[in-house]
């Protein structure tokens, strides 16, 4: 469900990265960054239309990868998606913004982060995961306009079967494809997916098997 321009979404001041240690690309230092960007006082809700054009804020975006053995869920972003700058690019990530409606009674400490993660997953794909959405890395990409106002939190879910399909029209050509094929065609993917695919071996090493 696309956010309205007037919707408040969870952000944190970009200068927080300078205090913690700004990085470009992928970082696996989850314990350092994640608690600060999803708990007060460092994060706050900002009107989306303002956050999209103000690089002094970073919008917090869960970015969930689904893997099955040596394959990864991949799709092409349709033209009906809310982020026009990503139209027609392929992606291996499912996710979106954290809104005020996600902040329930029992999620005050994380501002509704995990509620938003599962809401976005359920809106975009049909899947019944058997494993937790393990948080394995962060993405910061200041090299382009989209990246300068967004900050990704990468989660990997290990599927137990191939029962995953699209749940909305903004997802085109969904498929579980060999990871090596995705890496081979990495130029067709959005920047965040490229970063994840380049570090996929590391991300999978940090993702425990179900039940472990």
What CATH number does residue 20 fall under? Answer: 3.90.79.10
Question: Looking at the domain assignment, is residue 129 inside a domain?
Answer: yes
Nearest to 157 by CA among 123, 184, 118: 118
Beta strands 165-166 and 134-140 are unpaired
Cα 48 to Cα 54: distance, rounded to the nearest angstrom: 10
Note whether residue 2 is domain-resident: no
User: Tokens at residue 66, please?
Assistant: 């689904």
- pLDDT tens across the length of the chain (212 residues): 445 778 899 999 999 999 999 999 999 999 999 999 998 899 999 999 999 999 999 999 999 999 999 999 999 987 554 545 555 799 999 999 999 888 764 555 678 898 899 999 999 999 988 778 889 999 999 998 989 999 999 999 999 999 999 998 889 999 999 999 999 999 999 999 999 999 999 999 998 776 55
Number of residues that this document lists for the chain:
212
Domain containing 87 equals: 8-205
Q: Is residue 212 part of a domain?
A: no
**Cβ-based burial of 92 (10 A; exposed 0-12, middle 13-18, buried ≥19):** buried
In a domain, 83, yes or no: yes
Instruction: Answer yes or no: is 1 within a domain.
Output: no
Does a structural domain hold residue 3?
Answer: no
Contact partners, residue 71, CB within 8 Å, separation at least 6 = 176, 177, 178, 179
**Does residue 27 lie in a domain region?**
yes
Q: What is the pTM of this model?
A: 0.90
Structure tokens at 179: 């990871």
- Number of independent structural domains in the chain: 1
| CB neighbour list of residue 35: distance below 8 Å, 6 or more residues apart | none
């Amino acid at each position: 469900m696309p956010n309205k321009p007037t919707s408040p979404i969870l952000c944190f001041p970009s200068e927080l990265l300078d205090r913690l240690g700004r990085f470009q690309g992928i970082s696996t230092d989850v314990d350092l960054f994640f608690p600060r960007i999803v708990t007060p006082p460092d994060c706050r809700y900002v009107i989306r239309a303002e956050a999209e054009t103000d690089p002094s804020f970073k919008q917090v975006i869960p970015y969930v990868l689904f893997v099955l053995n040596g394959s990864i869920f991949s799709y092409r972003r349709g033209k009906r998606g809310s982020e026009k700058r990503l139209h027609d690019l392929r992606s291996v990530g499912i996710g979106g913004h954290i809104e005020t409606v996600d902040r329930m009674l029992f999620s005050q400490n994380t501002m509704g982060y995990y509620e938003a993660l599962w809401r976005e997953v359920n809106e975009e794909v049909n899947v019944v995961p058997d494993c937790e959405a393990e948080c394995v890395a962060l993405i910061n990409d200041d090299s382009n306009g989209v990246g300068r106002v967004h900050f990704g939190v990468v989660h990997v879910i290990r599927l137990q079967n191939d029962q995953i399909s699209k749940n909305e029209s903004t997802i085109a050509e969904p498929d579980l494809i060999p990871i090596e094929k995705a890496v081979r065609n990495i130029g067709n993917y959005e920047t965040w997916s490229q970063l994840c695919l380049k570090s996929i071996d590391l991300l999978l090493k940090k993702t425990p098997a179900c039940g472990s």
